[in-house]
Amino acid sequence: MAIADQIAIPGVPRVIGPAQHAVLDYAVAASFFALGATYLDRNRAAATLAFINGGMILGMSMLTDYPGGIWRRISFKTHGTLDVVQGAFAAIGPVLFGFGNRAEARAFYTQAVSEAGVIAATDWDNAAASRA
């Protein structure tokens, strides 16, 4: 059982399939890149963290065996485990990068909570993930 399979939020059904998850991934990666560009002039650490998170999500998405995956080297379930890692990194990253109490940290904390919801709502056993 993958780590992502163990994350559940009472009342949240697993309704997100691989295709929907892929769309969310690419949109979140793009939002992190936009966030990084926004923070470049006012908080270099926040910009760097945003670019790292965007790169993590984009790279994972391109390597996942799901619709939208390009090289398909990792399974959808493994992607779920990596989502947990990325969400945790977004949650602790502002503290590690020294801006945990600044306004810029809020976007990372919000994304981490959102990531937990997406992980909980994703059907990691969806058979359509393979070779879609």
pLDDT tens for 59-108 read 999 999 999 999 999 999 999 999 999 999 999 999 999 999 999 999 99
Could you give the CA distance from residue 53 to residue 39 in angstroms, rounded to a whole number?
Answer: 14
Could you give the CA distance from residue 12 to residue 108 in angstroms, rounded to a whole number?
Answer: 22
Inter-residue contact 4 to 16 (CB < 8 Å):
no
In the prediction, which pLDDT does 3 show? 80
Backbone angles phi, psi at 122, to 5 degrees: -90, 135
> Of 5-9, 21-25, 59-63, 113-117, which range is least confident?
5-9
Averaged pLDDT score across all residues of the chain: 93
| Residue 127 banded pLDDT, cuts 50, 70, 90 | low
Look at residue 131 and tell me whether its pLDDT is greater than 80. Answer: no
**Average pLDDT rounded to a whole number, residues 29-47:** 98
